[in-house]
């Protein structure tokens, strides 16, 4: 890894840590704000699924903080224990967001389908990219094509990060629209749910930007060697 790439990586690690800290702080804050409707995360998720005509997805508890996710393969929405049992704004926002992914799946949302198709390629590239790029930097004068291979692998993961953005933003949009037209959140609670999801989305934005910047740097290194 070159000094410039290392510096940029450290900068984005710092930014990512700050955003992650802000997200955790927001989730903890809104976890302490009771939901006036009194619904739990599990009840909210099941209701949103039901009202969207989805009957083949189960809502199950999961271990870990912010481990919430939708699994399209097993058709399950896994909610961390605090979200699953919570009767607060954070639980409402997160549960509805994960249901947003289930709705995307049920309606064949284009960006979600595209991301799902990329998963096998991303799994392969993620396991190889660091080693190929490292070897490519060390052997750039004798075997520059190796760095090009690393750039292609890194490009796959960058593309995945970019495609993830509309998927996450759309899931939050669906969640907030549904919360707004139901009795789950009040007019005062809705902006707080929106704020929680905004910071969750920011983690994906930072990851995507960091990936793009790093990819560009590797491309410039390769182009510089090619000109030599």
The predicted-structure confidence for 88-116, as pLDDT tens digits, reads as follows 999 999 999 999 999 999 999 999 999 99
Domain that holds residue 133: 3-227
pLDDT in tens, 7-60: 877 888 888 889 989 999 999 999 999 999 999 999 999 999 999 999 999 999
Annotated active-site residue 46? The verdict is no
pLDDT in the model for residue 142: 84
> Which of 46, 98, 168, 189 is labelled catalytic?
98
Per-residue pLDDT, 209: 93
Which pLDDT score, from 0 to 100, does residue 67 have? 93
- Type and span of the H or E element at 194: helix 190-227
Q: How many distinct structural domains can be found in the chain?
A: 1
**Torsion from C-alpha of 71, 77, 83, 84, nearest 10 degrees:** -140
Mean pLDDT of 57-73: 94
Three-class SS of residue 34?
strand
Q: pLDDT class for 2, splitting at 50, 70, 90? A: low
Q: How far apart are the first and last CA of the chain?
A: 20
pTM here is: 0.90
pLDDT tens per residue, range 137-188? 888 888 889 999 999 999 999 999 999 999 999 999 999 999 999 989 999 9
């Amino acid at each position: 890894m070159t000094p410039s790439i290392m510096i940029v990586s450290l900068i984005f690690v710092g930014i990512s840590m700050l955003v992650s800290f802000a997200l955790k702080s927001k989730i903890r804050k809104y976890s302490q704000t009771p939901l006036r409707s009194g619904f739990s995360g599990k009840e909210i998720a099941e209701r949103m699924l039901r009202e969207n005509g989805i009957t083949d997805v189960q809502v199950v508890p999961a271990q870990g903080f912010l481990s919430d996710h939708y699994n399209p393969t097993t058709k399950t929405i896994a909610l961390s224990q605090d979200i699953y049992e919570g009767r607060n704004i954070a639980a409402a926002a997160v549960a509805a967001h994960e249901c947003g992914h289930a709705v995307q799946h049920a309606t064949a949302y284009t960006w979600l389908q595209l991301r799902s198709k990329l998963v096998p390629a991303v799994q392969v590239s993620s396991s190889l990219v660091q080693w190929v790029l490292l070897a490519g930097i060390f052997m750039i004068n004798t075997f520059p094509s190796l760095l090009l291979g690393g750039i292609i692998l890194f490009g796959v993961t960058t593309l995945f990060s970019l495609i993830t953005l509309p998927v996450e933003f759309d899931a939050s949009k669906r969640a907030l629209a549904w919360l707004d037209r139901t009795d789950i959140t009040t007019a005062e609670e809705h902006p707080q749910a929106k704020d929680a999801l905004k910071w969750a989305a920011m983690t994906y934005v930072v990851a995507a930007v960091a990936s793009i910047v790093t990819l560009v740097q590797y491309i410039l290194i390769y182009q510089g060697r090619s000109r030599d």
